[in-house]
Homo-oligomer: A and B are copies of this chain.
Amino acid sequence: MDREVYLDYQSAKPVDPRVVEAMLPYFTERFGNPASLHTVGDRATAVLDEGRAGVAAFIGAQPDEVIFTSGATESNNLALIGYANRAKREGAHVIISEVEHISLHNIGKFLEKSGFRVTKVPPDQFGRIDPDKLRSRITDDTVLVSVGWASNEIGTVQPISRIAEMLRGTGVALHVDAVAAEGLLPMDMSAVPVDLLSLSSNDIYGPPGLGALYVRKGVRLAAVTIGGGQENGLRSGTENMPAIVGMAAAARISAEELPRESARLAAMRDRLIAAVLSTIPDSHLNGHPTERLPNNAHFRFEGIEGESLLLSMKDKGIAVSTGSACSSKTLEPSHTLISCGLLHQEAHGSLEFTFGRFSQDADVDRVMEVLPDIVARLRRMSPLYETH
């Protein structure tokens, strides 16, 4: 079999071996519960404080603005449900961008069942949310706006600074799901007035099963997970110490390497985009041509199905995605692509490549060795494709 090529970093990332190394002692000889009053507990408390400071520094926040959770999904639950429930007396209207991860839209449906009105704001054809269009949807009843820093699917980066500035002082809070962008774009909460920011540990090559929610000082939430009152009462459950150490180590490595690594990934991405668009007829780039994540290349190939493409690539030992991993097993067309104005059959013909820390130039070569032939073969069998 051919060498395996992994180009689906948006759905899962290996943990950096340096991070695993940092975590290891905290599983065994340095274990402990920060709630304990003895020496082992004291040590755990110090480690927890250090881990929190490390994650805070990564996003220009203060340590007490960081709440550890079990992952991005829980961060999003705490941000949206926790904020909305707390703010219910002030208003019951929430705005969510159409290009968010499916998990956010499901939280939106949950809020609707709980008595909130949820409005979706559509993107332009490149997946960008226009701050003015967003503003026009705000009413006196609006308490919260949720827009991701970038799309995990088509890679379009949102104008978060402009959206945050537009909302500043209006009393409407801004939640940003930063999972797709963290480690790829710099984020500085001391410069951008975001109120709530969801982070995932694994998306910066930290261990899975841990996330964080940045909660700007003064922003109040209702707890979603109830229990012993850990994490300032907002997220009960004994802290996951090895993972917290790991996420802090991952954040430090990510911050150090970000400028060089993002440039390296962008070069691979650009080479793949140029090669695909120039080699494969009737292929198109989805998402924004320039305002896109440095690691994301998302294509549409006329006349064929993304699923067949994905399976043919799989046969060649190449792992790619048709969109969000979390909905990839449902075979429904991507809601993000539909929001950008694509027809159902166009959305179905799409394929997503996401590069990451262990990607190499050779991966692009390998894709270009097999992809043009696969597309040509599938088109020959496709009743939907006619050469022009």
Copies of this polypeptide in the complex: 2
Bound-complex Cα distance A327 to B243 (A): 23
**Complex interface: stretch among A10-18, A87-95, A133-141, A378-386:** A10-18
CB distance from A98 to the nearest CB of B (A): 17
Partner pick for A314 among B39, B228, B313, B328, CB 8 A cutoff: B39
* Contact present for A226 and B15 (CB under 8 Å): no
Option from B20, B37, B101, B210 in Cβ contact (under 8 Å) with A329: B37
Q: Mark A266-285, 1 if CB is under 8 A from B, else 0.
A: 00000000000000000000
Contact of A326 among B8, B72, B228, B322 (CB under 8 A): B228
A71 contacts B by Cβ under 8 Å:
yes
How far does the alpha carbon of A14 sit from the alpha carbon of B27 in the complex, in Å? 6
Q: Complex formed: what's the CA distance from A36 to B320 in Å? A: 9
For A104, give the chain B residue with the smallest CB separation.
Answer: B227
Q: Is A192 part of the contact surface with B, judged by Cβ < 8 Å?
A: no
Partner of A225, one of B28, B77, B236, B319: B77
Asked whether, in the complex, the Cβ of B238 is within 8 Å of the Cβ of A319, the reply is no
Are A310 and B225 in touch, CB under 8 angstroms?
A: no
Contact between B77 and A227 (Cβ–Cβ < 8 Å)?
yes
Judge whether B106 and A37 touch: CB under 8 Å.
no
Chain A stretch 235-274: residues in CB contact (< 8 A) with chain B: 236-243
| Chain A 308-341 residues near chain B, CB threshold 8 A | 310-311, 313-314, 317-322, 325-329
A119 at the interface (CB under 8 A from B): no
A77 and B240 CA atoms in complex are apart in Å by 17
Chain B CB count within 10 A is highest, among A4, A326, A328, for A326
Q: Is the beta-carbon distance between B38 and A319 smaller than 8 angstroms? A: yes
Encoded as 1 (CB less than 8 Å from any B CB) or 0, chain A from 196 to 212 comes to: 00000010000111100
Residue from B20, B36, B103, B202 within 8 A of A321 (CB atoms): B36
Evaluate whether A227 and B73 lie within 8 angstroms (CB atoms) in the complex, with A11-B36, A28-B20, A314-B39 already known.
Answer: yes
Contacts of A17-58 to chain B: CB distance below 8 A: 17, 19-20, 24, 27-29, 31-33, 35-41, 44
Q: Does A347 sit at the interface, judged by CB under 8 A?
A: no
Q: Interface of A with B (CB < 8 Å)? A: 4, 6, 8, 11-15, 17, 19-20, 24, 27-29, 31-33, 35-41, 44, 70-74, 76-77, 81, 101-103, 106-107, 109-110, 202, 207-210, 224-230, 236-243, 307, 310-311, 313-314, 317-322, 325-329
4 other contacts beyond A15-B28, A37-B321, with CB at 8 A cut-off? A36-B321, A73-B228, A103-B227, A227-B326
Cross-chain pairs A/B with CB under 8 angstroms, 18 sampled: A6-B40, A11-B36, A12-B31, A12-B44, A36-B328, A37-B328, A37-B329, A70-B74, A76-B227, A102-B228, A106-B229, A207-B242, A208-B240, A209-B240, A224-B224, A228-B326, A228-B327, A229-B326
